Structure 1
Amino acid sequence: MDIEFSEADLPDFFRAFDQASLRGQRLTLRISALRLVGALLATVGATLSFHLARVDVWAFVSLLGFLGALAAELVLMVTQPEKSWYDGRAAAESAKTLAWRYSVAADPFFGELGEREAVKLLRRRLEEVAGEIAGQIVVRDTDGAYCTDAMTLLRNAPFEQRREVYISRRTKDQQRWYAAKAVWNQRRSTAWRVSLLSCEVVALVLVTGRALDVWPVDWAATLAAAIACGAAWLALKQHSSLGAAYSVAAAELLRQIGILEETTEADWAHAVADAEDAVSREHTMWLAKRGAVNG
């Protein structure tokens, strides 16, 4: 009997953590973008001047920009969506690796463990993960909160079937994801750097023109602000470092696939642990870099 296994078959713990992380990511990026746009708008307003009656319209634009940037900064400080982003992602990855280890009878859920003991261990390990972010994410105690029927079905399947499903639905899928994300991030990094370089060239031309009195408006401050905002956004997105990290992870998982395909049942539990550790290393590096940027 063929066994299909996907993220939909992972426990509710994983989905709760994953959704919380995605919400935190969206809020962090949107509010950060609002803050940067507000700062840029404030600079544009300070550069230009247009009087309507006795009111300087651009001064009000600058005021609105500063207010928007301030409001965004306050929201980030109070709500801290980046914490939900990072903690939720760490918890989701931990829940996913625990679910897979249980499902294919890998370390520490060895095949020698009875089903009841294995489920009990899985529950305890998932609760430990949840305890590390207590109060941030709520998981309902449903039948699929800790272990799903698909996980148990796969765990009880013959070794060859467990190996086939793990290699195709976990390791190969993850390797393809890393490879695609590596290319995407490298392209985005290049595009952003070319854009920033172009802005710097334009700024040089405009400053030269202003020095020679070719035009009356001084756009240097505006372009400098645009370049600074672009650099800040690039630092937040971390395309370059992510591209490099994903490339390394994709190569490591490709190596692990070759090992897993030749692994016997006697070495299976530890071989899976090595493959899962390859994913964990990438995520640990991701968390460390995020902490360094936002610390």
Structure 2
Amino acid sequence: MTGSRRRPLRWLALGAVMLGAGMAEAEPLPLAAYMDQPRVQPDAVIRYGGAPSQVVEVFKPEGKGPHPVVVLLHGGCYQQRFDGLPQTSAIAADLARRGFAVWNVEYRRLGEAGSGYPGTFQDVAAAVDRIRAEAARHDLDPRRVVALGHSAGGHLALWAAARHRLPADSPLYRPDPLRIGAVISLAGIGDIEGQGDVFSRACGADTFPQLLGDPQRLADTSPAALLPSGARTVMVHGTFDHVMPPFTGLEYARKARAAGDHAEAVSLPEAGHFDVVVPTSEAWKAVLAIVAREVEALR
């Protein structure tokens, strides 16, 4: 949003929801609360490549479609040693119960053959574009797609929404990419050059050198370098997030608005880095409200 008069009204409305959501929690959830979630089995599994990690789990809502699609991208510092799909399966199932088809994406992570640049990014692109080919079979609406990513997955979600701006000579370029109408980054990083050091304090100083290999690759991997994306953007951060504090989302949202995008930042009181991806948390209720609003905006 570029209109300063409308912004306070939006913040006031969202603030009421977020304040109510945050009051019930005394302290942020620990990593164990995220990692120890029971896995929920998907309705379908789709392989978009030959590597073990090149897979999408599909969670389907009841009723007749075509259904709006939430592309879900897990975090974990881009590292193979952290699970991804088992933890995000719980919020995927919850989203499906609420009428959204969920496209829960796995991708090659650091420690796996072919990961990093360009493989990790090519995986996300291929997985997202596969929605069109599977739309009829799984009752999906490829015109209503929202990307929802957590932590490292928040970066990949922002990137996926902006990749249509890649130059044709980039190894990450794909012709006619599926357009993402809105992206919701949960404690994600949008500006690797400006905020990579913040993210690396939790994930390790070698995170982005391993992922990218060459600083010159920021031009086609950092969402901030690809603005404007044209997608509605919401940066969501817990006030107690030790990995990506709220100021990082505020800064990215300002950059996106300055470039002409509709972008905002939301801070969730008393939430930490993992509250936003645990379906029993108060923070998740706030995330659900944002997802529903952004899907509705795509009608």
Give the shorter-chain TM-score range. under 0.3
Normalised to the residue count of structure 2, the TM-score between the two structures is 0.22
**Higher share of residues assigned helix:** 1
Larger radius of gyration: 1
